[in-house]
Homo-oligomer: A and B are copies of this chain.
Amino acid sequence: MTLDLRADPIALTAALVDIPSVSRDEDAVTAAVETALRTQTSGFEVMRHGNVVLARTDRGLPTRVVLAGHLDTVPIADNVPGRFATENGAEVLYGCGSVDMKSGDAVFLHLAATIADPAHDLTLIFYDCEEIAAEFNGLNVIERELPEWLDADLAILGEPSGGWIEAGCQGTLRVRLSTTGVRAHSARAWLGDNAIHRLAPLLNRLSEYRAREVDIDGCRYREGLSAVRVGGGVSGNVVPDAAEVEVNFRFAPDRSVDQAVEHVREVVAGLDLGFEITDSAAGALPGLTAPAARGLVDAVQAHGSAGVRAKYGWTDVSRFAARGIPAVNFGPGDPNLAHKRDEHVPLTQITAVTDMLRAYLTKDSSDVDRLR
């Protein structure tokens, strides 16, 4: 299968969809991408590492941008090859990976082959095994074995974001809050002290909790403090002496993990509870005030069809953020359609993302004006 990188990225997306590439079975698509980059781009050092294809320019430009996309998909569900259709008056492409994320890959590949006057040095990373356990993730392998390939002023992951810039990510903290009481036979309940009843004031606090909203670099973060599990009880005739609620605090990236713990302690202050941290991960600041990131925001806002918003979940973006590199998700397609049998991408989004990204990556900033 030969990929034509200079063709319309819509056609290139369809060609990529038609190469099956379920996780652990990416040999064919990796070979096609490697061959296309070696034969249809100029100025790139191309390297293969396992089923990861790496390519970079070294033009001595003042800034470097990483464009990274995974080539694998979730299992096929009668949705390969892809097919074009009209959905509510809009042309779309159906197919496994059309959203997550072969349309993003197609935009990156097309731009690598067609940008004549780049504003930034570019690093391309097309990787495998993103849809399965993190230990197999190709970007994880590169971070471990070839970390210098991740260095950049901005990293753009082509994950579906509906053509919006999704930046940063929230942190997460899980705490097990427990009550203790005195066990007794339920026929003599007054001899006991019911640990489940003792959860009442905690659940009142959680019910009444008003989550903070905060703007950081133009992204609005909404925090949340949720009970995710409750448990307790010995048997049907026993007043239980132990009960617990596990809470999950999703916090904006202007708090550290320690500050998040302190906040949860304040929420439950004065209650008689055991407090055990069971899991935590730091958030990532969007970092959109850095100059390289600012340029991308400008290009997107100039286009006028989309903007900037917070990323809530933890994605590969966080790998870069943890290294101090501003990183965003930016790709065509509705992320809510990812992994679905009826996964499909609007063709206009592929074109729009290509245009916005071309404006950002090209030296002549008049491109931006042209897009207004």
CB within 8 Å of B: which residues of A? 170, 172, 174, 185-190, 192, 194, 196-200, 203-204, 206-207, 211, 222, 224-240, 243, 245-246, 248, 250, 279, 312-313
Contact = CB atoms under 8 A, between A and B. Distances in A.
Given A187-B313, A203-B196, A211-B189, A246 B227 contact: no
A136 to B, nearest CB: 21
A371 to B, nearest CB: 31
A317 to B, nearest CB: 14
19 contacts: A170-B187, A172-B187, A186-B228, A187-B224, A188-B222, A188-B224, A190-B222, A190-B224, A197-B226, A197-B227, A200-B204, A226-B239, A227-B233, A228-B233, A229-B232, A230-B230, A230-B232, A236-B246, A237-B248
Nearest to A169: B187
A351 B224 CA distance: 68
Given A188-B224, A227-B240, 6 more contacts: A187-B313, A188-B222, A189-B225, A200-B206, A228-B235, A230-B231
Contacts of A192: 226
A288 B50 CA distance: 86
Nearest to A222: B190
Given A194-B227, A235-B228, A203 B211 contact: no
Contacts of A234: 228
Contacts of A198: 207
Contacts of A206: 194, 196-197, 200
Contacts of A229: 196, 232-233, 236, 240
A314 to B, nearest CB: 8
Contacts of A204: 200, 204
A224 B313 contact: no
Given A197-B227, A232-B229, A312 B172 contact: no
A311 B153 CA distance: 77
